[in-house]
Structure 1
Amino acid sequence: MEDVILRTEGLTKAFRGFVAVREVSLAVRRGTIHAMIGPNGAGKTTCFNLLTKFLEPTGGRILYNGRDITRSSPADIARQGMVRSFQISAVFGHMTALENVRIALQRKRGDCFDFWRSERVLKRYDGQARELLDAVGILEFESVPAVELSYGRKRALELATTLALEPEMMLLDEPMAGMGHEDVGRIAELVKRMAKGRTVLMVEHNLSVVADLSDRITVLARGEILAEGDYEAVSRNPRVIEAYMGSGHA
Protein backbone atom coordinates (compact mmCIF):
# COMPACT_ATOMS: atom_id res chain seq x y z
CA MET A 1 0.00 0.00 0.00
CA GLU A 2 1.09 3.57 -0.63
CA ASP A 3 2.63 5.35 2.35
CA VAL A 4 0.41 8.43 2.50
CA ILE A 5 1.47 11.11 4.98
CA LEU A 6 -1.34 13.61 4.29
CA ARG A 7 -4.83 12.78 3.12
CA THR A 8 -8.01 14.78 2.70
CA GLU A 9 -11.47 13.30 2.30
CA GLY A 10 -14.14 15.48 0.72
CA LEU A 11 -12.48 18.70 1.91
CA THR A 12 -14.87 21.62 1.35
CA LYS A 13 -14.91 25.33 2.17
CA ALA A 14 -17.83 27.68 1.51
CA PHE A 15 -17.93 31.42 2.11
CA ARG A 16 -21.52 32.66 2.43
CA GLY A 17 -22.72 30.32 -0.26
CA PHE A 18 -19.66 30.55 -2.52
CA VAL A 19 -17.84 27.21 -2.57
CA ALA A 20 -14.10 27.93 -2.84
CA VAL A 21 -13.00 24.30 -2.33
CA ARG A 22 -15.37 21.47 -3.18
CA GLU A 23 -14.99 17.80 -2.20
CA VAL A 24 -11.18 17.74 -2.56
CA SER A 25 -9.76 14.29 -1.80
CA LEU A 26 -5.99 14.49 -1.87
CA ALA A 27 -3.30 11.90 -1.06
CA VAL A 28 0.32 13.03 -0.62
CA ARG A 29 2.83 10.20 -0.48
CA ARG A 30 5.62 10.34 2.08
CA GLY A 31 9.02 11.44 0.77
CA THR A 32 7.69 13.06 -2.42
CA ILE A 33 7.41 16.58 -3.80
CA HIS A 34 3.74 17.09 -4.62
CA ALA A 35 2.69 20.23 -6.49
CA MET A 36 -0.72 21.87 -6.49
CA ILE A 37 -1.33 23.98 -9.58
CA GLY A 38 -4.22 25.67 -11.32
CA PRO A 39 -5.33 28.96 -12.85
CA ASN A 40 -6.00 32.01 -10.70
CA GLY A 41 -9.02 31.49 -8.45
CA ALA A 42 -8.68 27.70 -8.54
CA GLY A 43 -8.69 27.43 -4.73
CA LYS A 44 -5.03 26.51 -4.19
CA THR A 45 -4.23 28.92 -1.37
CA THR A 46 -7.62 28.30 0.26
CA CYS A 47 -6.78 24.61 0.23
CA PHE A 48 -3.40 25.35 1.84
CA ASN A 49 -5.09 27.43 4.53
CA LEU A 50 -7.48 24.57 5.25
CA LEU A 51 -4.68 22.01 5.50
CA THR A 52 -2.77 24.14 8.03
CA LYS A 53 -5.96 25.24 9.82
CA PHE A 54 -5.72 28.95 9.11
CA LEU A 55 -9.25 28.32 7.83
CA GLU A 56 -11.83 25.91 9.23
CA PRO A 57 -13.34 23.53 6.67
CA THR A 58 -17.06 23.52 6.01
CA GLY A 59 -16.94 19.78 5.42
CA GLY A 60 -14.62 16.82 5.02
CA ARG A 61 -11.63 15.50 6.95
CA ILE A 62 -7.86 16.06 7.05
CA LEU A 63 -5.61 13.20 8.16
CA TYR A 64 -1.89 13.59 8.89
CA ASN A 65 0.08 10.42 9.59
CA GLY A 66 -3.26 8.68 9.99
CA ARG A 67 -4.45 11.08 12.70
CA ASP A 68 -7.52 13.24 12.19
CA ILE A 69 -6.33 16.87 12.46
CA THR A 70 -9.49 18.48 11.10
CA ARG A 71 -10.14 20.30 14.39
CA SER A 72 -6.52 20.86 15.42
CA SER A 73 -5.03 24.34 15.79
CA PRO A 74 -2.24 25.64 13.53
CA ALA A 75 0.19 25.42 16.46
CA ASP A 76 -0.77 21.81 17.16
CA ILE A 77 -0.24 20.88 13.51
CA ALA A 78 3.18 22.55 13.47
CA ARG A 79 4.16 20.64 16.60
CA GLN A 80 3.21 17.40 14.86
CA GLY A 81 5.73 18.22 12.11
CA MET A 82 3.74 19.89 9.32
CA VAL A 83 5.05 23.42 8.78
CA ARG A 84 4.15 25.94 6.09
CA SER A 85 5.73 28.95 4.46
CA PHE A 86 3.73 31.85 3.08
CA GLN A 87 3.44 33.50 -0.33
CA ILE A 88 4.65 36.75 1.26
CA SER A 89 7.97 36.31 3.06
CA ALA A 90 7.34 36.08 6.81
CA VAL A 91 10.52 37.10 8.63
CA PHE A 92 11.32 39.73 11.25
CA GLY A 93 12.61 42.55 9.09
CA HIS A 94 14.67 44.44 11.67
CA MET A 95 16.37 41.34 13.06
CA THR A 96 19.44 39.89 11.41
CA ALA A 97 19.32 36.69 9.42
CA LEU A 98 21.04 34.88 12.29
CA GLU A 99 18.54 36.22 14.84
CA ASN A 100 15.59 35.14 12.71
CA VAL A 101 16.81 31.55 12.55
CA ARG A 102 17.73 31.60 16.23
CA ILE A 103 14.16 32.49 17.17
CA ALA A 104 12.86 29.51 15.21
CA LEU A 105 15.37 27.23 16.94
CA GLN A 106 14.10 28.36 20.34
CA ARG A 107 10.92 26.42 19.65
CA LYS A 108 12.80 23.36 20.88
CA ARG A 109 12.70 24.87 24.38
CA GLY A 110 8.93 24.51 24.48
CA ASP A 111 7.60 27.37 22.33
CA CYS A 112 9.13 29.97 24.61
CA PHE A 113 10.76 32.82 22.70
CA ASP A 114 13.12 34.41 25.21
CA PHE A 115 13.51 37.87 23.69
CA TRP A 116 14.51 39.20 27.12
CA ARG A 117 17.21 36.62 27.92
CA SER A 118 20.88 37.54 27.94
CA GLU A 119 22.87 37.38 24.74
CA ARG A 120 25.04 34.68 26.33
CA VAL A 121 22.04 32.38 26.77
CA LEU A 122 20.75 33.01 23.25
CA LYS A 123 24.15 32.37 21.67
CA ARG A 124 23.77 28.65 22.40
CA TYR A 125 21.75 28.50 19.18
CA ASP A 126 24.27 30.33 17.00
CA GLY A 127 26.07 27.22 15.76
CA GLN A 128 22.87 25.54 14.57
CA ALA A 129 21.60 28.81 13.09
CA ARG A 130 24.78 29.25 11.07
CA GLU A 131 24.53 25.67 9.78
CA LEU A 132 21.02 26.37 8.53
CA LEU A 133 22.03 29.67 6.93
CA ASP A 134 24.89 27.85 5.22
CA ALA A 135 22.49 25.14 4.02
CA VAL A 136 20.35 27.73 2.22
CA GLY A 137 23.36 29.63 0.88
CA ILE A 138 23.15 32.90 2.84
CA LEU A 139 25.66 32.41 5.68
CA GLU A 140 27.65 35.44 4.52
CA PHE A 141 24.57 37.58 5.27
CA GLU A 142 24.14 36.38 8.87
CA SER A 143 24.58 39.90 10.32
CA VAL A 144 22.39 41.67 7.76
CA PRO A 145 18.89 42.77 8.88
CA ALA A 146 16.30 40.78 6.97
CA VAL A 147 14.73 43.97 5.61
CA GLU A 148 17.98 44.68 3.72
CA LEU A 149 18.16 41.27 2.02
CA SER A 150 17.16 40.84 -1.60
CA TYR A 151 13.81 39.19 -2.22
CA GLY A 152 15.37 35.87 -3.16
CA ARG A 153 17.55 35.85 -0.04
CA LYS A 154 14.55 36.66 2.14
CA ARG A 155 12.84 33.59 0.73
CA ALA A 156 15.97 31.54 1.45
CA LEU A 157 15.94 32.90 5.02
CA GLU A 158 12.32 31.90 5.41
CA LEU A 159 13.20 28.39 4.27
CA ALA A 160 16.01 28.32 6.85
CA THR A 161 13.58 29.29 9.63
CA THR A 162 11.18 26.61 8.40
CA LEU A 163 13.97 24.00 8.51
CA ALA A 164 14.82 25.13 12.04
CA LEU A 165 11.44 23.76 13.15
CA GLU A 166 12.59 20.30 11.97
CA PRO A 167 9.50 19.62 9.86
CA GLU A 168 8.54 16.18 8.66
CA MET A 169 6.39 17.82 5.97
CA MET A 170 6.76 21.28 4.44
CA LEU A 171 3.98 23.21 2.73
CA LEU A 172 5.40 25.91 0.46
CA ASP A 173 3.05 28.59 -0.85
CA GLU A 174 4.47 29.87 -4.16
CA PRO A 175 8.15 29.77 -3.09
CA MET A 176 9.25 31.29 -6.45
CA ALA A 177 6.68 34.14 -6.52
CA GLY A 178 8.13 37.46 -7.69
CA MET A 179 11.62 36.11 -8.39
CA GLY A 180 13.92 36.72 -11.30
CA HIS A 181 15.27 33.82 -13.34
CA GLU A 182 18.51 33.51 -11.34
CA ASP A 183 16.72 33.40 -7.99
CA VAL A 184 14.14 30.91 -9.29
CA GLY A 185 16.87 28.45 -10.21
CA ARG A 186 18.64 28.86 -6.87
CA ILE A 187 15.47 28.40 -4.77
CA ALA A 188 14.34 25.45 -6.90
CA GLU A 189 17.65 23.70 -6.20
CA LEU A 190 17.28 24.58 -2.53
CA VAL A 191 13.78 23.07 -2.38
CA LYS A 192 15.14 19.92 -4.03
CA ARG A 193 17.87 19.64 -1.37
CA MET A 194 15.46 20.36 1.47
CA ALA A 195 13.09 17.65 0.25
CA LYS A 196 15.59 14.86 0.94
CA GLY A 197 14.16 12.91 3.84
CA ARG A 198 11.01 15.06 3.94
CA THR A 199 7.70 15.48 2.18
CA VAL A 200 6.93 18.72 0.33
CA LEU A 201 3.54 19.99 -0.84
CA MET A 202 3.78 23.22 -2.77
CA VAL A 203 1.62 25.67 -4.67
CA GLU A 204 3.54 27.05 -7.62
CA HIS A 205 2.66 28.99 -10.78
CA ASN A 206 5.98 28.44 -12.54
CA LEU A 207 5.27 25.31 -14.58
CA SER A 208 8.89 24.78 -15.59
CA VAL A 209 9.75 24.56 -11.88
CA VAL A 210 6.83 22.18 -11.31
CA ALA A 211 7.98 19.98 -14.20
CA ASP A 212 11.52 19.80 -12.83
CA LEU A 213 10.74 19.30 -9.13
CA SER A 214 7.48 17.42 -8.74
CA ASP A 215 6.88 13.70 -8.40
CA ARG A 216 3.12 14.19 -8.60
CA ILE A 217 0.84 17.09 -9.52
CA THR A 218 -2.73 17.89 -8.53
CA VAL A 219 -4.52 20.36 -10.82
CA LEU A 220 -7.32 22.42 -9.28
CA ALA A 221 -9.95 24.41 -11.18
CA ARG A 222 -12.92 26.21 -9.61
CA GLY A 223 -12.15 24.58 -6.28
CA GLU A 224 -12.22 20.99 -7.56
CA ILE A 225 -9.58 18.47 -8.58
CA LEU A 226 -9.38 18.50 -12.36
CA ALA A 227 -6.54 16.03 -12.87
CA GLU A 228 -3.68 14.26 -11.07
CA GLY A 229 -0.53 12.51 -12.15
CA ASP A 230 3.04 13.24 -13.19
CA TYR A 231 3.87 16.31 -15.27
CA GLU A 232 3.76 14.50 -18.60
CA ALA A 233 0.27 13.16 -17.90
CA VAL A 234 -1.32 16.36 -16.62
CA SER A 235 0.31 18.58 -19.25
CA ARG A 236 -1.34 16.52 -22.00
CA ASN A 237 -4.73 16.33 -20.31
CA PRO A 238 -7.28 18.16 -22.51
CA ARG A 239 -9.21 19.42 -19.47
CA VAL A 240 -6.04 20.90 -17.99
CA ILE A 241 -5.11 22.57 -21.27
CA GLU A 242 -8.62 24.03 -21.48
CA ALA A 243 -8.48 25.31 -17.89
CA TYR A 244 -5.20 27.13 -18.56
CA MET A 245 -6.23 28.63 -21.87
CA GLY A 246 -6.04 32.40 -21.57
CA SER A 247 -4.86 32.26 -17.94
CA GLY A 248 -1.30 33.25 -18.77
CA HIS A 249 0.20 30.07 -17.32
CA ALA A 250 -0.07 27.66 -20.24
Structure 2
Amino acid sequence: MSDIILETEGLTKEFRGFVAVSDVSLRVRRGAIHGLIGPNGAGKTTCFNLLTKFLQPTRGTIRYEGRDITGMKPAEVARLGLVRSFQISAVFPRLSVLENVRIALQRQRGGSFDFWRSETLLRAYDRRASELLEAVGLAGYEDLTAGELPYGRKRALEIATTLALDPVMMLLDEPTAGMAHEDVDRIVALVKRVAEGRTVLLVEHNLRVVQGLCDTITVLTRGRVLAEGDYASVSRNPEVIAAYLGTETPAHA
Protein backbone atom coordinates (compact mmCIF):
# COMPACT_ATOMS: atom_id res chain seq x y z
CA MET A 1 0.00 0.00 0.00
CA SER A 2 1.41 3.37 -1.03
CA ASP A 3 2.31 5.95 1.62
CA ILE A 4 0.61 8.58 -0.56
CA ILE A 5 -3.20 8.49 -0.44
CA LEU A 6 -3.99 11.60 -2.53
CA GLU A 7 -1.86 13.10 -5.26
CA THR A 8 -2.29 15.75 -7.92
CA GLU A 9 -0.09 16.64 -10.88
CA GLY A 10 -0.33 19.93 -12.75
CA LEU A 11 -3.79 20.65 -11.32
CA THR A 12 -5.14 23.78 -13.02
CA LYS A 13 -8.51 25.53 -13.08
CA GLU A 14 -9.28 28.51 -15.30
CA PHE A 15 -12.46 30.60 -15.31
CA ARG A 16 -12.74 32.56 -18.56
CA GLY A 17 -9.08 33.49 -18.56
CA PHE A 18 -8.68 33.84 -14.79
CA VAL A 19 -6.43 31.13 -13.38
CA ALA A 20 -7.72 30.22 -9.91
CA VAL A 21 -5.47 27.16 -9.46
CA SER A 22 -2.27 26.82 -11.44
CA ASP A 23 -0.09 23.74 -11.84
CA VAL A 24 -0.62 22.48 -8.28
CA SER A 25 1.17 19.26 -7.40
CA LEU A 26 0.07 17.97 -4.02
CA ARG A 27 1.00 14.79 -2.18
CA VAL A 28 -0.90 13.86 1.00
CA ARG A 29 0.54 11.08 3.15
CA ARG A 30 -1.74 8.37 4.46
CA GLY A 31 -2.69 8.95 8.10
CA ALA A 32 -1.47 12.56 8.16
CA ILE A 33 -3.26 15.80 8.98
CA HIS A 34 -2.27 18.00 6.04
CA GLY A 35 -3.05 21.73 6.04
CA LEU A 36 -3.77 23.86 2.99
CA ILE A 37 -3.28 27.52 3.85
CA GLY A 38 -2.80 30.87 2.15
CA PRO A 39 -4.12 34.44 2.06
CA ASN A 40 -7.62 35.24 0.81
CA GLY A 41 -8.00 34.45 -2.87
CA ALA A 42 -5.12 31.97 -2.87
CA GLY A 43 -7.26 29.23 -4.46
CA LYS A 44 -7.70 26.96 -1.43
CA THR A 45 -11.45 26.32 -1.70
CA THR A 46 -11.22 26.00 -5.49
CA CYS A 47 -8.56 23.35 -4.95
CA PHE A 48 -10.87 21.56 -2.51
CA ASN A 49 -13.70 21.68 -5.04
CA LEU A 50 -11.41 20.14 -7.66
CA LEU A 51 -10.28 17.35 -5.34
CA THR A 52 -13.85 16.41 -4.43
CA LYS A 53 -15.11 16.84 -8.01
CA PHE A 54 -17.49 19.76 -7.47
CA LEU A 55 -15.37 21.37 -10.18
CA GLN A 56 -13.64 19.74 -13.13
CA PRO A 57 -10.02 20.80 -13.75
CA THR A 58 -8.96 22.58 -16.90
CA ARG A 59 -5.78 20.50 -16.85
CA GLY A 60 -4.00 18.06 -14.59
CA THR A 61 -4.74 14.78 -12.85
CA ILE A 62 -5.97 13.68 -9.43
CA ARG A 63 -5.20 10.23 -8.01
CA TYR A 64 -6.74 8.80 -4.85
CA GLU A 65 -5.53 5.45 -3.50
CA GLY A 66 -3.57 5.11 -6.74
CA ARG A 67 -6.73 5.49 -8.86
CA ASP A 68 -7.28 8.29 -11.36
CA ILE A 69 -10.41 10.11 -10.16
CA THR A 70 -10.02 13.20 -12.38
CA GLY A 71 -13.19 12.56 -14.35
CA MET A 72 -15.36 11.24 -11.54
CA LYS A 73 -18.45 12.87 -10.00
CA PRO A 74 -18.74 13.98 -6.33
CA ALA A 75 -20.92 11.03 -5.30
CA GLU A 76 -18.50 8.58 -6.91
CA VAL A 77 -15.47 9.84 -4.99
CA ALA A 78 -17.52 9.98 -1.77
CA ARG A 79 -18.31 6.28 -2.22
CA LEU A 80 -14.58 5.64 -2.46
CA GLY A 81 -14.14 7.16 1.01
CA LEU A 82 -13.05 10.70 0.06
CA VAL A 83 -15.57 12.89 1.92
CA ARG A 84 -15.64 16.64 2.58
CA SER A 85 -17.26 19.21 4.80
CA PHE A 86 -18.07 22.74 3.67
CA GLN A 87 -16.98 26.23 4.75
CA ILE A 88 -20.57 27.09 5.71
CA SER A 89 -22.09 24.67 8.18
CA ALA A 90 -24.47 22.38 6.27
CA VAL A 91 -27.16 20.84 8.48
CA PHE A 92 -30.90 20.30 8.15
CA PRO A 93 -31.99 22.99 10.64
CA ARG A 94 -35.57 21.73 11.19
CA LEU A 95 -34.61 18.11 11.82
CA SER A 96 -33.30 16.84 15.12
CA VAL A 97 -29.61 16.39 15.72
CA LEU A 98 -30.08 12.62 15.64
CA GLU A 99 -32.09 12.74 12.41
CA ASN A 100 -29.31 14.71 10.70
CA VAL A 101 -26.83 11.92 11.37
CA ARG A 102 -29.38 9.22 10.58
CA ILE A 103 -29.91 10.63 7.10
CA ALA A 104 -26.19 10.21 6.40
CA LEU A 105 -26.28 6.66 7.74
CA GLN A 106 -29.22 5.79 5.46
CA ARG A 107 -26.75 5.89 2.58
CA GLN A 108 -25.79 2.34 3.66
CA ARG A 109 -29.09 1.08 2.19
CA GLY A 110 -27.94 2.18 -1.25
CA GLY A 111 -31.28 3.74 -2.19
CA SER A 112 -32.47 7.29 -2.78
CA PHE A 113 -35.92 7.07 -1.19
CA ASP A 114 -35.28 6.21 2.45
CA PHE A 115 -37.18 9.36 3.39
CA TRP A 116 -40.31 7.30 2.63
CA ARG A 117 -39.32 4.26 4.71
CA SER A 118 -41.19 3.44 7.91
CA GLU A 119 -40.08 5.06 11.15
CA THR A 120 -39.46 1.61 12.62
CA LEU A 121 -37.02 0.72 9.84
CA LEU A 122 -35.17 4.02 10.12
CA ARG A 123 -34.79 3.69 13.88
CA ALA A 124 -32.40 0.81 13.23
CA TYR A 125 -29.83 3.54 12.59
CA ASP A 126 -30.38 5.36 15.90
CA ARG A 127 -27.80 3.48 17.93
CA ARG A 128 -24.99 4.16 15.48
CA ALA A 129 -26.13 7.79 15.15
CA SER A 130 -25.95 8.18 18.92
CA GLU A 131 -22.46 6.68 18.96
CA LEU A 132 -21.29 9.19 16.36
CA LEU A 133 -22.84 12.07 18.28
CA GLU A 134 -21.07 10.93 21.42
CA ALA A 135 -17.79 10.79 19.48
CA VAL A 136 -18.08 14.48 18.56
CA GLY A 137 -19.22 15.66 21.97
CA LEU A 138 -22.95 15.92 21.22
CA ALA A 139 -24.26 13.22 23.56
CA GLY A 140 -27.46 14.53 25.13
CA TYR A 141 -28.26 16.77 22.16
CA GLU A 142 -30.02 14.06 20.10
CA ASP A 143 -33.55 15.46 20.35
CA LEU A 144 -32.62 19.11 19.94
CA THR A 145 -33.52 20.72 16.62
CA ALA A 146 -30.28 21.23 14.69
CA GLY A 147 -31.10 24.87 14.00
CA GLU A 148 -31.03 25.55 17.76
CA LEU A 149 -27.41 24.46 18.15
CA PRO A 150 -24.73 27.11 18.74
CA TYR A 151 -22.44 27.57 15.74
CA GLY A 152 -19.56 25.51 17.14
CA ARG A 153 -21.89 22.61 17.91
CA LYS A 154 -23.29 22.77 14.37
CA ARG A 155 -19.77 22.25 13.04
CA ALA A 156 -19.41 19.25 15.34
CA LEU A 157 -22.71 17.90 13.98
CA GLU A 158 -21.44 18.35 10.43
CA ILE A 159 -18.34 16.35 11.32
CA ALA A 160 -20.58 13.63 12.77
CA THR A 161 -22.54 13.42 9.51
CA THR A 162 -19.25 13.26 7.62
CA LEU A 163 -18.12 10.38 9.84
CA ALA A 164 -21.42 8.62 9.13
CA LEU A 165 -20.24 8.24 5.53
CA ASP A 166 -17.34 6.13 6.88
CA PRO A 167 -14.59 8.21 5.25
CA VAL A 168 -11.08 6.97 4.66
CA MET A 169 -10.01 10.58 4.04
CA MET A 170 -11.77 13.71 5.30
CA LEU A 171 -11.46 17.14 3.70
CA LEU A 172 -12.45 19.89 6.13
CA ASP A 173 -13.02 23.39 4.75
CA GLU A 174 -12.25 25.95 7.49
CA PRO A 175 -13.66 23.90 10.37
CA THR A 176 -13.10 26.72 12.92
CA ALA A 177 -14.24 29.69 10.80
CA GLY A 178 -16.23 32.26 12.76
CA MET A 179 -15.86 30.50 16.10
CA ALA A 180 -15.24 31.86 19.58
CA HIS A 181 -12.03 30.79 21.30
CA GLU A 182 -13.61 28.02 23.38
CA ASP A 183 -15.31 26.54 20.31
CA VAL A 184 -12.03 26.60 18.39
CA ASP A 185 -10.32 24.56 21.09
CA ARG A 186 -13.22 22.08 21.10
CA ILE A 187 -13.08 21.58 17.31
CA VAL A 188 -9.27 21.22 17.33
CA ALA A 189 -9.59 18.44 19.93
CA LEU A 190 -12.37 16.86 17.87
CA VAL A 191 -10.35 16.88 14.65
CA LYS A 192 -7.48 15.20 16.48
CA ARG A 193 -9.85 12.47 17.69
CA VAL A 194 -11.53 11.78 14.36
CA ALA A 195 -8.17 11.81 12.55
CA GLU A 196 -7.11 8.63 14.35
CA GLY A 197 -6.99 5.96 11.68
CA ARG A 198 -7.86 8.44 8.93
CA THR A 199 -6.23 11.01 6.67
CA VAL A 200 -7.32 14.64 6.97
CA LEU A 201 -6.76 17.51 4.55
CA LEU A 202 -7.98 20.83 5.88
CA VAL A 203 -8.21 24.44 4.76
CA GLU A 204 -7.76 26.78 7.70
CA HIS A 205 -7.10 30.50 8.25
CA ASN A 206 -6.31 30.27 11.96
CA LEU A 207 -2.56 29.65 12.06
CA ARG A 208 -2.70 28.65 15.73
CA VAL A 209 -5.03 25.82 14.69
CA VAL A 210 -2.73 24.84 11.85
CA GLN A 211 0.26 24.80 14.16
CA GLY A 212 -1.52 22.58 16.67
CA LEU A 213 -2.96 20.13 14.16
CA CYS A 214 -0.98 19.72 10.97
CA ASP A 215 1.91 17.39 10.23
CA THR A 216 2.51 18.97 6.82
CA ILE A 217 1.42 22.34 5.44
CA THR A 218 1.08 23.44 1.82
CA VAL A 219 0.94 27.20 1.26
CA LEU A 220 -0.93 28.53 -1.77
CA THR A 221 -0.79 32.05 -3.14
CA ARG A 222 -2.39 33.26 -6.35
CA GLY A 223 -3.32 29.67 -7.16
CA ARG A 224 0.23 28.31 -6.96
CA VAL A 225 2.14 26.31 -4.37
CA LEU A 226 4.46 28.75 -2.60
CA ALA A 227 5.94 26.49 0.08
CA GLU A 228 5.49 23.15 1.80
CA GLY A 229 6.78 21.61 5.01
CA ASP A 230 6.11 21.48 8.72
CA TYR A 231 4.85 24.55 10.56
CA ALA A 232 8.27 25.60 11.82
CA SER A 233 9.84 25.70 8.36
CA VAL A 234 6.84 27.22 6.60
CA SER A 235 6.32 29.95 9.20
CA ARG A 236 9.95 31.09 8.77
CA ASN A 237 9.80 31.12 4.98
CA PRO A 238 10.32 34.75 3.81
CA GLU A 239 7.99 34.28 0.82
CA VAL A 240 5.22 32.98 3.07
CA ILE A 241 5.68 35.92 5.44
CA ALA A 242 5.54 38.30 2.48
CA ALA A 243 2.35 36.69 1.15
CA TYR A 244 0.57 36.98 4.50
CA LEU A 245 1.76 40.54 5.12
CA GLY A 246 0.67 41.57 1.64
CA THR A 247 4.05 42.88 0.50
CA GLU A 248 4.74 42.96 -3.20
CA THR A 249 8.10 41.19 -3.08
CA PRO A 250 9.48 38.37 -0.94
CA ALA A 251 11.20 39.47 2.24
CA HIS A 252 14.58 38.24 0.97
CA ALA A 253 14.32 40.01 -2.41
Distance (Å, rounded) in 1 between the aligned partners of 2:71 and 2:178:
33
| Residues 1:77 and 2:77 are matched in the alignment | yes
Listed one character per residue, the Cα deviations across residues 139-166 of structure 1 (whole Å, up to 9, x for unaligned) are 2110011111100010000000000000
Matching residue of 2:25: 25
Distance (Å, rounded) in 2 between the aligned partners of 1:179 and 1:241:
25
Matching residue of 1:193: 193
Is the 1:4–1:27 Cα contact (8 Å) retained in structure 2?
yes
| Structure 1 stretches of at least 4 aligned residues deviating more than 6 Å after TM superposition | none
Is the 1:103–1:113 Cα contact (8 Å) retained in structure 2?
no
* CA displacement at 1:112 relative to structure 2: 3.1
SS of equivalent residue, structure 1 residue 232: helix
Unaligned stretches of 5+ in structure 2?
248-253
Matching residue of 1:110: 110
**Aligned AA (1:139):** A
* CA displacement at 1:116 relative to structure 2: 1.6
Is the 1:8–1:63 Cα contact (8 Å) retained in structure 2?
yes
Distance (Å, rounded) in 2 between the aligned partners of 1:39 and 1:243:
7
TM-score for both structures, normalised by structure 1:
0.97
Matching residue of 1:157: 157
Matching residue of 2:42: 42
Distance (Å, rounded) in 1 between the aligned partners of 2:221 and 2:213:
21
Matching residue of 1:12: 12
SS of equivalent residue, structure 2 residue 39: coil
Is the 1:106–1:113 Cα contact (8 Å) retained in structure 2?
no
SS of equivalent residue, structure 1 residue 7: strand
Equivalent residue runs for 1:55-94 within 5 Å: 55-94=55-94
Unaligned stretches of 5+ in structure 1?
none
Matching residue of 1:135: 135
Aligned residue pairs, count: 247
Listed one character per residue, the Cα deviations across residues 210-235 of structure 1 (whole Å, up to 9, x for unaligned) are 00000000000000000000000000
**Aligned AA (1:203):** V
TM-score for both structures, normalised by structure 2:
0.96
SS of equivalent residue, structure 2 residue 116: coil
Q: Percent identity?
A: 71
**Aligned AA (2:119):** E
**Aligned AA (2:184):** V
